[in-house]
C-alpha cells in the first residue's frame, strides 16, 4: 500500500495503529486508537522523502501548531503531532470521522438545492472562522469534505496545501491545489488567499448543485486555462430547475476577479441561507468534543428556568416574510459596549459612598424619632417640660399634608428631520417638615435615525445582460444613527423601472452601527436600453432616512444563452495506439539490516490510450490509487517484491503483474 505499511499494529507514542485508511502525495493515513483515552483517531504519517527535508519538517511543525488551535464544528479537530524515533516518522493525529467524503456522495448524483446550499454554507462558515485567524486552506474540493454520522459536513486537510507549497515539491509529483477547483489567480502563479478559497468552494457548490464541474478537460493544463479564460456556464444550463437566487450565489463566487466575489466566507454563507430560506445554525465551538454532564440541582431546590444554550429565537413575522435578511453586530460597537461596561462599573463604585451616606441619614432619622418619643413620654410623666421645642432648634409638628414624588416622565417630540427628542424628567418633593428644597433632574438626548449604503453588487456582474435576465442586487446597509431602527422600516421603491421587484422589502429592527445585507431580486426588461430603479430606506410613517439608492441595469441586444447540441457536424475520431503498460523500473533502493527489510522506489510508465493515465495497486479503489507515477514500497529483505498494477486511460484498462527482484541477491545468505 505504501512505503510505511509496516506500521500496522505498531505503537506511535500514545497511539496504537489499527488499520490503513488511504494515502496521498504527502502522507499515509491510518486508523488508530489513543490508548489513554480509549478513543479512535486518524493518524497521518509523513512520507519518508518529506521527512528528510529539514525545511519541510520545520514548516510542518509550525503549520500543525496553528491548525491544532482551530475549534469549529465544521473543521476536523487536530489533537497532536509528534516524531517517533523508533520508526523515524513524523505524524499528525486528528479526529476520526467514519462518514463518507463529499466526493463519495457525489457518485449518487447532485444534491437537492437546499441540501447543496446547506453544505456549502457550513463550509463557508468554517472558512470564515479560519480566515479570520489568517489560515487559508488552498485545496477546497469534495475529497477534503467529510460527513459525520449525523450528516454534518467537516472540512479536512487544513494547512496541508500550504505545507506543500512552501516546499517546492511539484517536481516530485505533488501538485499544490487541484486544477478542477483552482482559482484563476492561483493558476497564474499568485499565492492563495481567502478569496481563492471562496472560488474553490464555488466550484464545489456548482458541482453538488448540477452534478458536474463548470469546466472539464482530460489534460490538467487545459483545465487550468479554462478557469482563467472561459466564462462560467450558467448552472441552469445543466440543472434547469435550480433556483435563480442559488445560481446567482454560485456565479458570484466564481467571478474571475477576486474582488468581485463574496468578500468573506460569512457573506457567502449568509447569501446561501437567504437564497433558500435556511436557518443559520448556532455556533458552538468544539461542538463534537465530549463534555461532562451538568450537576443536577438538589431535589428540594426549585429548578430555575434557564435559556437553552445555542437555541435560536423564534422568528418574527417580518423575518418570516423576508428571509433575505441577516443582521450581524458591528465589532466597533461591541468594543464600545465593553468600554461602557467598564465605565458603568466605575460609576457603581462611585455610587457606593452615596449609598452609605443615605443609610447613615436613615439611621440618624430613626434615632431622632426614638429620642422624640422618649422626650414626649417624659413630658407626660412630668420628667421633662412640655415645651419640647426648647430641646430642638426645628419644628417637630407633623405636616398637615404630604406630597410624594411623581414617577419619571418621558416627553417625545418628533422634529421635521425625523429625529426624536427624548426628555426624561424626574421631580422629588420632600416633606415640608424638613424644609428642604425640591430636587429636579432633567436631561436631553437626541435620537438620530439614519441609513447608509455601504456596498451594492448586482449578479450577474456584466456591463450588459440579455433581455429578461434574472438579477440579484446585494445591498449592504448600515444603521448610521445612534438608536435602533423601528420595526417595519423598509427598503421602498420610489421611481424608475421596478423590474419585477417587490414595491417594499421590510427590514428587521437594526441596532445602531450594525449592518444588514438585503437581497433584492429583479428581472431585466425585455428591450435593450439603460434602466434606472430608484429606492430608499423609509420609516414606518413613510419618512426617508437614506439618500436615494440608484440601481442601474444595462440591457444589451444579446440573445439568451442556449447551448447548441454538437450534432451539426460529423466528428472524425483520431486513431490512437492501444494502451500498453511497461514493467516498473526500480530507480533507487535501500536495505535496513536492523529491520531486515528493504525499500525501493519504482517509476511507472504506460503508452497509448488517451495519454493520461491513472495507476492503481491490486484493485481499483480510491485508497489504492497511486499518486503521481512513482511507488515507494517497503518489503522483506532478500525477497522479491510482488506487485499488481492496474492502469486506466480513458475507457481502456490494462493490468501488469509480476515480481520486482531484490537488487543484491549476492548479499543474502543461502
First to last CA, the chain: 29
246 touches 275 (CB < 8 A): yes
| Ordered alpha helix ranges (H), 132-243 | 160-165, 184-187, 194-210, 220-229
CA–CA distance, 7 with 20 (Å, rounded to integer) = 9
Q: Residues 6 or more apart from 603 whose CB is under 8 A from it?
A: 584, 585, 587, 629, 630
530 touches 552 (CB < 8 A): yes
Backbone angles phi, psi at 648, to 5 degrees: -120, 130
Q: Residues 6 or more apart from 382 whose CB is under 8 A from it?
A: none
For the question of residue 139 being annotated catalytic, the response is: yes
Q: Strands 470-479, 451-459: parallel, antiparallel or unpaired by DSSP?
A: antiparallel
CA–CA distance, 76 with 438 (Å, rounded to integer) = 67
CA–CA distance, 254 with 233 (Å, rounded to integer) = 11
CA 76 vs CA 42, 56, 301: distances in Å: 11, 22, 41
Q: Work out the angle at residue 177's Cα, subtended by the Cα atoms of residues 174 and 179, and round it to the nearest 5 degrees.
A: 105
Q: Which of 451, 443, 448, 527 is nearest to 489 (CA)?
A: 451
Residue 384 is given by DSSP the state S
39 touches 33 (CB < 8 A): yes
Q: Which residue has the cell 512505503?
A: 3
524 touches 471 (CB < 8 A): yes
Share of the chain residues as helix, strand and coil, in percent rounded to the nearest 5: 30, 25, 45
CA 238 vs CA 205, 233, 563: distances in Å: 14, 9, 10
Q: Which of 469, 514, 459, 153 is nearest to 325 (CA)?
A: 514
Task: Map residue 144 onto helix, strand or coil.
Answer: helix
CA 616 vs CA 36, 647, 654: distances in Å: 37, 6, 11
Task: Map residue 486 onto helix, strand or coil.
Answer: coil
Q: Which residue has the cell 430636587?
A: 439
Query: Which cell numbers hold the place of 31?
Result: 486508523
Q: Which of 81, 56, 75 is nearest to 197 (CA)?
A: 75
Q: Residues 6 or more apart from 95 whose CB is under 8 A from it?
A: 41, 42, 76, 77, 78, 79, 288
Given 38, 80, 128, 139, the catalytic residue: 139
Q: Which residue has the cell 468594543?
A: 335
CA 591 vs CA 20, 108, 586: distances in Å: 24, 46, 14
Longest dimension (CA), the chain: 137
Give Cα 377 to chain centroid, integer Å.
80
Q: Work out the angle at residue 51's Cα, subtended by the Cα atoms of residues 50 and 57, and round it to the nearest 5 degrees.
A: 95
Question: Active-site residue numbers?
Answer: 139
Amino acid at each position: 500500500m505504501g512505503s510505511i505499511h509496516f506500521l500496522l499494529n505498531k505503537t506511535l507514542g500514545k497511539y496504537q495503529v489499527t488499520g490503513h485508511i488511504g494515502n496521498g502525495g504527502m502522507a499515509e493515513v491510518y486508523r488508530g486508537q489513543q490508548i489513554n483515552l480509549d478513543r479512535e483517531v486518524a493518524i497521518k504519517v509523513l512520507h519518508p522523502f518529506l521527512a528528510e527535508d529539514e525545511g519541510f519538517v520545520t514548516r510542518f511543525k509550525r503549520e500543525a501548531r496553528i491548525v491544532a488551535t482551530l475549534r469549529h464544528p465544521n473543521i476536523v479537530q487536530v489533537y497532536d503531532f509528534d516524531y517517533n524515533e523508533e520508526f523515524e516518522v513524523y505524524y499528525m493525529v486528528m479526529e476520526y470521522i467514519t462518514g463518507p467524503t463529499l466526493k463519495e456522495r457525489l457518485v449518487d448524483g447532485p444534491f437537492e438545492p437546499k441540501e447543496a446550499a446547506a453544505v456549502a454554507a457550513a463550509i463557508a462558515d468554517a472558512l470564515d472562522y479560519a480566515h479570520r485567524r489568517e489560515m487559508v486552506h488552498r485545496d477546497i474540493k469534495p475529497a477534503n469534505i467529510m460527513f459525520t454520522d449525523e450528516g454534518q459536513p467537516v472540512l479536512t486537510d487544513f494547512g496541508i496545501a500550504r505545507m506543500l507549497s512552501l516546499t517546492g515539491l511539484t517536481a516530485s509529483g505533488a501538485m499544490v491545489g487541484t486544477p478542477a477547483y483552482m482559482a484563476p489567480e492561483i493558476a497564474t502563479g499568485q499565492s492563495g488567499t481567502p478569496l481563492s478559497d471562496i472560488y474553490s468552494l464555488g466550484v464545489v457548490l456548482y458541482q453538488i448543485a448540477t452534478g458536474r464541474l463548470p469546466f472539464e478537460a482530460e489534460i490538467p493544463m487545459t483545465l487550468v486555462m479554462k478557469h482563467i479564460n472561459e466564462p462560467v456556464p450558467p448552472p441552469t444550463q445543466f440543472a434547469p430547475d435550480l433556483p435563480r437566487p442559488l445560481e446567482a450565489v454560485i456565479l458570484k463566487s466564481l467571478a474571475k476577479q477576486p474582488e468581485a466575489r463574496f468578500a468573506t466566507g460569512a457573506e457567502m454563507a449568509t447569501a446561501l441561507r437567504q437564497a433558500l430560506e435556511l436557518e443559520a445554525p448556532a455556533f458552538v465551538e468544539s461542538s463534537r468534543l465530549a463534555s461532562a454532564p451538568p450537576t443536577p440541582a438538589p431535589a428540594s431546590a426549585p429548578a430555575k428556568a434557564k435559556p437553552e444554550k445555542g437555541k435560536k429565537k423564534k422568528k418574527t413575522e417580518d423575518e418570516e416574510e423576508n428571509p433575505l435578511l441577516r443582521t450581524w453586530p458591528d465589532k466597533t460597537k461591541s468594543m464600545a459596549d465593553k468600554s461602557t461596561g467598564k465605565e458603568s462599573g466605575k460609576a457603581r463604585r462611585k455610587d457606593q459612598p452615596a449609598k452609605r451616606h443615605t443609610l447613615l441619614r436613615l439611621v440618624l432619622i430613626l434615632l431622632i424619632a426614638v429620642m422624640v418619643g422618649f422626650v414626649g413620654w417624659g413630658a407626660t410623666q412630668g420628667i421633662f417640660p412640655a415645651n419640647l421645642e426648647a430641646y430642638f432648634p426645628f419644628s417637630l409638628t407633623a405636616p398637615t399634608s404630604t406630597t410624594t414624588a411623581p414617577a419619571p416622565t418621558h416627553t417625545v417630540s418628533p422634529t421635521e428631520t425625523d429625529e426624536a427628542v427624548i426628555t426624561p424628567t424626574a421631580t422629588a418633593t420632600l416633606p415640608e417638615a424638613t424644609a428642604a428644597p425640591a430636587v429636579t433632574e432633567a436631561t436631553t438626548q437626541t435620537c438620530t435615525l439614519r441609513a447608509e449604503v455601504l456596498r451594492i453588487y448586482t449578479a450577474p456582474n456584466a456591463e450588459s445582460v440579455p433581455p429578461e435576465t434574472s438579477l440579484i442586487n446585494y445591498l449592504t446597509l448600515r444603521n448610521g444613527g445612534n438608536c435602533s431602527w423601528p420595526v417595519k422600516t423598509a427598503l421602498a421603491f420610489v421611481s424608475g423601472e421596478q423590474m419585477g421587484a417587490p414595491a417594499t422589502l421590510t427590514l428587521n429592527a437594526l441596532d445602531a452601527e450594525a449592518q444588514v445585507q438585503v437581497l433584492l431580486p429583479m428581472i431585466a426588461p425585455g428591450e435593450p436600453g439603460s434602466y434606472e430603479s430608484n429606492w430608499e430606506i423609509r420609516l414606518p410613517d413613510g419618512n426617508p432616512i437614506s439618500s436615494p439608492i440608484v440601481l442601474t441595469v444595462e440591457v444589451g441586444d444579446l440573445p439568451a444563452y442556449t447551448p447548441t447540441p454538437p450534432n451539426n457536424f460529423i466528428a472524425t475520431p483520431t486513431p490512437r495506439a492501444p494502451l500498453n503498460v511497461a514493467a516498473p523500473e526500480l530507480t533507487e533502493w535501500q536495505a535496513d539490516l536492523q529491520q531486515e527489510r528493504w525499500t525501493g522506489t519504482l517509476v511507472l510508465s504506460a503508452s497509448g490510450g488517451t495519454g493520461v493515465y491513472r495507476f492503481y495497486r491490486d484493485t481499483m479503489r480510491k485508497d489504492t490509487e497511486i499518486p503521481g507515477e512513482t511507488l515507494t514500497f517497503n518489503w522483506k529483505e532478500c525477497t522479491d517484491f510482488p506487485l499488481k498494477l492496474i492502469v486506466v486511460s480513458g475507457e481502456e484498462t490494462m493490468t501488469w503483474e509480476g515480481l520486482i527482484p531484490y537488487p543484491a541477491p549476492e548479499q543474502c545468505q543461502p
